[in-house]
Structure 1
Amino acid sequence: MIPYHIKEDIKVLILEDNTADADLLVRHLSKSGLSFVSKVVESRKSFEDSLDNFIPDIILSDYSLPSFDAVSAFKIIKNRNITIPFIIISGTIGEENAVMLIKEGVTDYVSKNNFSSLIQKISRALKEAEDLIEKENLVEKLKTQTAALLLANQELEIQNAEKEIRAIELLNANKELLAFNFISSHDLQEPLRKIQVFISIMMEKEMKNMTADGKNNLQRINVAATRMRQLIEDLMDFSRLSTTDHHYEWSDLKDIIEDVKSEHTDIIKQKKAIFKLKGLIPVNIIAFQFRQLIYNLISNSLKFSNLDIPPQITIESTILKNEDFRLLNLSDSQQICDYWNLSFQDNGIGFEAQHNQNIFVIFQRLHHTEDYSGTGIGLAIVKKIVENHNGIIIANGTLKKGVKFDIYIPMTKNFEKSSGYLQYQMHKKMINKKSIPNFGIPI
């Protein structure tokens, strides 16, 4: 299976002088399901021409060629300051040379005698290259924003010296937050990637010579490194929520739910999970963020289900009048508007009511990692997304009986003029006239 983050039509530049080996590599990539276009070269000139004209996404290189080699090719990449993943594929490189090249900056290596890990390493290399580009784009964006803020600070200095100081302090805080984001995306992942590469080398080369305790310890190191990578990626997701542009659009929640369910097809079939969808009213939201919210909630319900009971997940949305919302005493806001209420309920293992608030705290976990995997960031991301919508989220857990989440998002003043509201009213009138059956739209 190809990991989801590999894009369509990857451009693969293959540096190889042996036609049979090149054909074997292309057949393996095709058999794996990777969507790609490839080009095979064997000389320095054709390699340099391909960098300019073919513009590859990744380079797969033999270690040694008669007139050219991987080391020389990689030096060309470094001298041009090009950030293209570079993976060496060789049967003669040797472990010592592989480690040396990785220290020099080569992305990874794969033995010609064992292609089993190639697709996984290609996937990881492309993801890291994508993260690096994103980091560079954020740096440029930060420079532009900093220049604009400096101009604003100069104007504030004329008006009020105290306001200028506070603005600079806020700017520094934002820089620190973005700096943390950069560290998470690249600087922290780089040494971790090398650790995982060396673990992979040891597992391929040294496992048969290890004692049982040694094998166990190596496996535990590998599990810890994998968990660390997941933690870094989850922190990235959390920090991006504060820096991403907020683009609202009218969305059909059913489409989002079905899309998320398709990503959980295997575990849904395995656990025989049942979904009940009721009254899913279109809503004006930041669509990609809300997809992450639904993804995290469904993942939690499937993960924390009872072993002997099929998971049952009920998702319902209604429009709550302002006076009814105020009776809940959830907010001190004086904003006068109706609220879109999303109810998400499951029948899982739940938790004690005393944890209703602290489950949204980042890194907060109610179970050991040995029992349930995760980093304790998923529900913190959910809460952050709700806050990005100026909303409120409430959790009500019952031990061994499941949990119910209620999300309240304020509706804009022009909601009654929107297509979502018109669709809601149309269904309401037709249901009242008994001209069509109730499709789940609340009345």
Structure 2
Amino acid sequence: MISYSIKKDLKVLLLEDNTSDADLIVRHLTKSGLSFVSKIVESRKIFEESLDTFSPDIILSDYSLPSFDAVSAFKIVKDRNLAIPFIIISGTIGEENAVMLIKEGVTDYVSKNNFSSLLQKITRALKEAEELIEKENLLQKLKIQTQALLIANQELEFQNAEKEKRAIQLINANKELLAFNFISSHDLQEPLRKIQIFISIMMEKEMKNMTEDGKNYLERINVAATRMRQLIEDLMDFSRVSTTDHHYEISDLTNIIEDVKSELTDIIQKKKAVFKINGLTPVNIISFQFRQLIYNLISNSLKFSNPDIAPQIAIQSTILKNEEFRLLELPDSSKIYDYWNLTFKDNGIGFEAQYNQNIFVIFQRLHHSEDYLGTGIGLAIVKKIVENHNGIIVADGNLNMGVTFNIYIPIVESLSKKSEDSKFKRQNSIEINNKHLNPFEMQDVK
């Protein structure tokens, strides 16, 4: 049972010198219901021309013609590499010659004494020809894909080699950085310690014998040495943040904030600073790095507070669903994570909005060093810590109206169910409705 459907207006090229036989074949195909157009040829020249001009779908050929024959015709088709089914129709070829020609590549054979199988063989030949073309196309695509894969593999090998090279370079750079840290902590700081010791002795024992200019110069030397030592320590902190191992743990920041407040007790009491803390939602963080982050943000707020107003520092955290985070249109908005959002706000001297990005650049200072001491590294460390957590930090400054920092840390799936359960219990104890309040309307914590 043949289910293959022959296309309409099939082009049949008949190589036949006997007009009666050619008419008989045409009538049989018409009677069989085949929709086709035919062209009858009997010479080599016209046959070759018809291959180009008529472009047949199938060739039906007599075995022997006076000036031409089926074997020669098939050789022409084969030499041109044409995938056209070739069926011999003859009453004189004999079974032995027919089998030999089929082995050579001829599609099939039909006896002129029995046309009953002709339509079936045409149908099968066309189907096999189409499948052969599809197979060749598939093989060609496979060759192209294989070549592309080979090129991709070569590129991957090159990239892997480059990565290994860069990894070695990174290892060497880290070794150099460790050596720098050692020099910073010993060879650079030791002379500064001696300078500060001798300055202290001079200020204690020799000040009364100095002129006013001498006293002024000595004081300026002391300030410069102190600032140099602070700069070295800050650079060490920055390098440690860049190279440290990442050990994450669940934290809600409560203990971290209290620890930092305890360390800064003197200046907090001196400036009468007020802390307003609400809803510290647990998060998976590198705790000691976040302690450095909180320390830098709080000390920064205390340093740049308004001298006429008691510092107010508000800290809160919430969970932003991915849909909410996307509305912020931040650089990582295309990612599918939910985000932990820490908001840190103060009422200090602030800065103009045009500096919202500049303040995170290392050594960037917006105020004169004589007015506000510092090295310009603190917020660069904060940004580096946030980046270590694959997060984003955004500053929103207003001159004489304080600054708000928003930190966004992606919540990854690596949190265990136990951690999630713990987070849920802790969140239940927080007044969630307060997350939309003004931070300075929260409960005071001094």
Alignment of 1:349-428 (within 5 A): 349-415=349-415, 417-419=417-419, 421-426=420-425
Deviation per residue, 1:89-125 (Å, 9 max, x gap): xxxxxxxxxxxxxxxxxxxxxxxxxxxxxxxxxxxxx
Correspondence 1:317 to 2:320: no
**CA 1:222–1:441: 2 relative to 1, 3 Å:** same
Residue matched to 1:273: 273
Deviation per residue, 1:362-392 (Å, 9 max, x gap): 1111111111111111111111111111111
**CA 1:417–1:297: 2 relative to 1, 3 Å:** same
TM-fit CA distance, 1:202:
2.6
Q: SS at the partner of 2:393?
A: strand
The one-letter code of the counterpart of 1:299 is S
Q: SS at the partner of 2:369?
A: coil
Distance in 2 between the 1:333 and 1:301 partners?
29
Correspondence 1:210 to 2:231: no
Kept in 1, the 8 Å contact 2:281–2:427? The answer is no
Residue matched to 1:172: 172
TM-fit CA distance, 1:298:
0.8
RMSD across aligned positions (CA): 2.7
Kept in 1, the 8 Å contact 2:326–2:334? The answer is no
Residue matched to 1:244: 244
TM-fit CA distance, 1:308:
1.6
Deviation per residue, 1:176-201 (Å, 9 max, x gap): 32232222111211222222233233
**CA 1:352–1:429: 2 relative to 1, 3 Å:** closer
The one-letter code of the counterpart of 2:306 is N
**CA 1:218–1:263: 2 relative to 1, 3 Å:** same
Name which of structure 1's ranges 351-360 and 362-371 shifts more when overlaid on structure 2: 362-371
Kept in 2, the 8 Å contact 1:306–1:348? The answer is yes
Distance in 1 between the 2:196 and 2:429 partners?
60
Distance in 2 between the 1:274 and 1:159 partners?
54
Alignment of 1:4-403 (within 5 A): 165-332=165-332, 334-403=334-403
Kept in 1, the 8 Å contact 2:281–2:426? The answer is no
**CA 1:219–1:297: 2 relative to 1, 3 Å:** same
TM-fit CA distance, 1:442:
5.1
Residue matched to 1:65: none
Task: Give structure 1 stretches of 5+ with no counterpart.
Answer: 1-156, 432-437
Distance in 1 between the 2:427 and 2:164 partners?
54
Deviation per residue, 1:194-215 (Å, 9 max, x gap): 2223323333443222111111
The one-letter code of the counterpart of 1:303 is K
Task: Give structure 2 stretches of 5+ with no counterpart.
Answer: 1-156, 437-446
TM-score, normalised relative to structure 1 = 0.58
Kept in 2, the 8 Å contact 1:280–1:440? The answer is no
TM-fit CA distance, 1:333:
6.7
Kept in 2, the 8 Å contact 1:315–1:342? The answer is yes
Q: SS at the partner of 2:374?
A: coil
- Tell which has more relative contact order, 1 or 2 (C-alpha 8 A, sep 6+): 2
Q: SS at the partner of 1:220?
A: helix
TM-fit CA distance, 1:342:
0.2
Deviation per residue, 1:222-244 (Å, 9 max, x gap): 11101111111111111111222
Deviation per residue, 1:380-409 (Å, 9 max, x gap): 111111111111100000000000000000
TM-fit CA distance, 1:430:
7.9
Kept in 1, the 8 Å contact 2:326–2:333? The answer is no
Q: SS at the partner of 1:246?
A: coil
**CA 1:167–1:295: 2 relative to 1, 3 Å:** closer
Q: SS at the partner of 1:413?
A: coil
**CA 1:415–1:219: 2 relative to 1, 3 Å:** same
Distance in 1 between the 2:178 and 2:364 partners?
23
TM-fit CA distance, 1:158:
13
